[in-house]
Amino acid sequence: MLRIGVVGVGQRARMATLANQAGVAEVVACADTDPRGRADARELFGPAVVVRERYEDLVKDDLDAVFVLTPDHLHARPARYFLEAGVAVFVDKPLAISLADCDEVLATAARTGSRLYVGHNLRHLPMLRRMRELIDEGAIGRVKSVWCRHFVGHGGDFYFKDWHAERAKTTGLLLQKGAHDIDVIHWLAGGYSRDVVAMGGLTVYGDNPHRRADDPDGRRMGDWYDPAVWPPSRLRDLHLVIDVEDLSMMLTRLDNGVFTSYQQCHFTPDYWRNYTVIGDEGRLENFGDGLDGDDATINVWNRRRSGYRRDADLAVPIARQDLHGGADQALVAEFLRFAADGGPTDTSPVAAREAVAAAAAATTSLRSGATPVAVPVLDPAVARHFEAVS
């Protein structure tokens, strides 16, 4: 039985309940600086769970692995702390909000040999896994370009009423939200971004004068989310500080010559991701993404015809599943196996770092008048460590 700890009992902590598996693992201790988080720990994990205020004190609980589920700007320090202690670490995505913090976490894992896992659950999403299979099967030939449009229809509630709206705690939503999709783009394309350029701005929520007078600490998105409020101008109680963009667009060139684009909008009436992958023998595209019980279909066009045609040469339906399309269950199961036995995983700490690196570079480009920015490469010695253990 793996003894599991949880650092940060907030919005994403319910995912850690999936680690409670008879004969496999049990959450035995949690830490949170917020009294609400400590109370929720007992509700989620039972009255016998040890609850602490300081995550450093969890080393007293003889842990085998730990979930770091704090707000993003607080990921790096506890991740390094437990890696130093020889505890297997799960860090929710994004790995960190700066490239420097990402590289320090990876360097710590390489130096100590402790196991590091990053929670990019979209790699376990059935729709995206099937897209990757179709690419590997040669359905569209060699990948030449990947496009992603992310319609963040609940963006006002999800990202502009708490800490997500502050650069100091996210760098920007192109990183905080976009690292998820950038990792998928890299995965589908088989490479990492090396040159980026981006544009965007705070186009809607910055003009909304209805702000909270206080900080929403202790409150969470579920406390205020109301899907009936529309259009975005009707939202009330936005975060006092809003200095991140609500509309972003980036272009990248990958190290393998593939070109990609990513667009993110936080005020659309619908909420889903659309990925288009173009090869030298066809293209494929998803309609619906299969998240949280939604329908999804992957369409493949690989025969030439004139004009637009709704009917694809191949249509692949994706079965409905809950909890991020079943991705969270698969993600936690893979982490538990990795924490216990090591071995290769479908997620990658290096890929998680590369997603943050590309997003951080794109944010710099966006805020400097669409200046092209080169993406720094990872220390080769650290990269070799992860190649050896993957």
Q: State how far the Cα of 380 lies from the Cα of 369, in Å rounded to an integer.
A: 31
Q: What is the pLDDT of residue 214?
A: 77
Nearest Cα to Cα of residue 374 among 364, 383, 361, 363 = 361
Q: State how far the Cα of 53 lies from the Cα of 38, in Å rounded to an integer.
A: 8
pLDDT tens digits for 59-89?
999 999 999 999 999 999 999 999 999 999 9
CB of 107 closer than 8 Å to CB of 130? no
> Angle formed by the axes of helices 99-112 and 349-366, to 10°?
160
Contacting residues for 208 by C-beta, under 8 A, at least 6 apart: 232, 233, 235, 238
Q: What is the pLDDT of residue 216?
A: 65
CB of 80 closer than 8 Å to CB of 106? no
Q: State how far the Cα of 201 lies from the Cα of 368, in Å rounded to an integer.
A: 12
CB of 312 closer than 8 Å to CB of 299? yes
Q: What is the pLDDT of residue 295?
A: 84
* SS3 state at 313: coil
Residue labelled with tokens 């590289």: 103
Q: Which two tokens stand for residue 35?
A: 């009294």
Q: Which CATH class is domain 123-327?
A: alpha beta
pLDDT tens digits for 293-318?
678 999 999 999 888 888 899 999 99
Q: What is the pLDDT of residue 325?
A: 64
Q: State how far the Cα of 361 lies from the Cα of 148, in Å rounded to an integer.
A: 18
pLDDT tens digits for 37-52?
999 999 999 999 999 9
CB of 175 closer than 8 Å to CB of 356? yes
Model-level pTM? 0.96
* SS3 state at 196: strand
**Confidence band for 223, pLDDT divided at 50, 70 and 90:** confident
Q: State how far the Cα of 5 lies from the Cα of 333, in Å rounded to an integer.
A: 15
Partners of 31 in the β-ladder: 7, 52
Q: What is the pLDDT of residue 319?
A: 81
**Confidence band for 271, pLDDT divided at 50, 70 and 90:** very high
